[in-house]
Copies of this chain bind each other. A is one copy, B any other.
Amino acid sequence: MQVIQQTFQVQYSYGIHFTEGLFNTNNTLLPDLLKKDGSLGPRKLLFVLDSGVAAAHPTLQQDIKAFSEHYSQVLTAASDFIIIPGGEEAKNDPKYLQQILDAVNDHGICRHSYLVAIGGGAILDLAGFAAAISHRGIRHIRIPTTVLSQNDSGVGVKNSVNAFQKKNFLGTFAPPFAVLNDYHFLTTLEDRDWRSGISEAIKVALIKDAAFYDEIKTNAAKLVARDKAAMDSLIFRCAELHVAHIGGKDPFEMGSSRPLDFGHWAAHKLEQLTNYELRHGEAVAIGIALDVTYSMLSGRLSEQDWENVLALLVELGFDLYVPELSQTISETNQTLCISVGLREFREHLGGQLTIMLLNKIGEGEEVHQMDDAMVKKAVALLAQRYSKAPVIH
């Protein structure tokens, strides 16, 4: 029996650039990057905008047009802007994906043109997916506008939409051409969105970098007060840790290990159970609270570290309990819905269940089993401390 063996490597490279006022005509970051792509004439850029960002920055479209005219040798912005409501709805309703694909077709966007997405994590996930499957991959530039997308979701290689009421059921791994983090977009965020992304920084600090955790702790009051320098530093270090991890052993997650998903198994389910009323970052804060509590109850984490983490989350303004955390399948089946979510999480990832727990601040440990009874105990503990309403039984 004959075999032909195929083996090859694909090299990926992109920068996460930090700037302010990306579309000021005196800011040459974008044209400078585009000039490196080897194309001769001006490149076509099709812009997808988060409607929330478009509303908060009413001159944005005008600024981009003026920018495009100023740098007309290098780039041409497509005449239409694709404006899509931000948040999870963008990933839930297939019409938004179709809207972007229609525009890719209408504007003749090819593999050497660019789909540029400006918005929060949901818009970036959606636009990234549209870019990844159009013509087998058109170039994609991400301009994240929230703390969460600038320090975590926007700097990575994943994209997705939801299907079958499951988060990220459809998607690919597709590195962007570039990520452009513009602090200016953070200035108009609601407090809720400003805070939300901080949980991902706490997450990555807890499993990888105790010094970074201490920095967040020290800066907590400043972060609450929306101090620019404190947030700049948090976003940069958090992005750096995510980038280093992704560029490490398994960028496209072919194995079972997923340390960056610390606190996420419950978070994903809570987002769904609350009909996405909870922001991702808010759900992650609760997920972290749950997993540090489980880590403490199972004897891994000291009570002191446990209290330390909960106190930081509370200081930053996160709620650490929602009634959906205690929701069970039915009156007769008292299995927690989040435990069902754990099984769905494994199915999405595939392979062996692999969950990160905490040994101490800055050091995680992967386990391959979660004890349902102990999860219940952890939930009860959080309910007792942080519930604002009678617990659902």
Name the segment of A64-72, A105-113, A270-278, A292-300 touching the other chain.
Answer: A105-113
A155 within 8 A of B: yes
Offer 11 A-B interface pairs, CB within 8 angstroms, sorted by A. A3-B15, A4-B236, A5-B14, A8-B11, A8-B246, A10-B252, A39-B351, A110-B346, A133-B170, A136-B253, A137-B252
A4 in contact with B240 given A9-B9, A136-B253, A252-B10 (CB within 8 Å): yes
Separation of A137 and B157 alpha carbons in the complex (Å): 13
Contact status B1-A348, CB under 8 Å: no
User: Which A positions have Cβ atoms within 8 angstroms of B?
Assistant: 1-19, 29, 39-40, 101, 105, 108, 110-113, 129, 132-138, 155, 158, 160, 163-164, 166, 168-175, 236, 239-240, 243, 246-248, 251-254, 256, 346-352
Separation of A347 and B112 alpha carbons in the complex (Å): 9
Chain B residues with CB under 8 Å of A246's CB are 6, 8
Contact status B13-A6, CB under 8 Å: yes
Q: Shortest distance in angstroms between A115's beta carbon and chain B's nearest beta carbon?
A: 12
Separation of A240 and B5 alpha carbons in the complex (Å): 9
Contact status B348-A110, CB under 8 Å: yes
Q: Which of B3, B9, B14, B138 contacts A10 (CB 8 A)?
A: B9
Chain B residues with CB under 8 Å of A349's CB are 110-111, 135
With A1-B19, A6-B175, A137-B172 given, name 7 new contacts (CB 8 A). Answer: A1-B17, A10-B12, A105-B169, A133-B171, A133-B172, A135-B350, A137-B173
Separation of A135 and B258 alpha carbons in the complex (Å): 14
Q: Shortest distance in angstroms between A177's beta carbon and chain B's nearest beta carbon?
A: 11
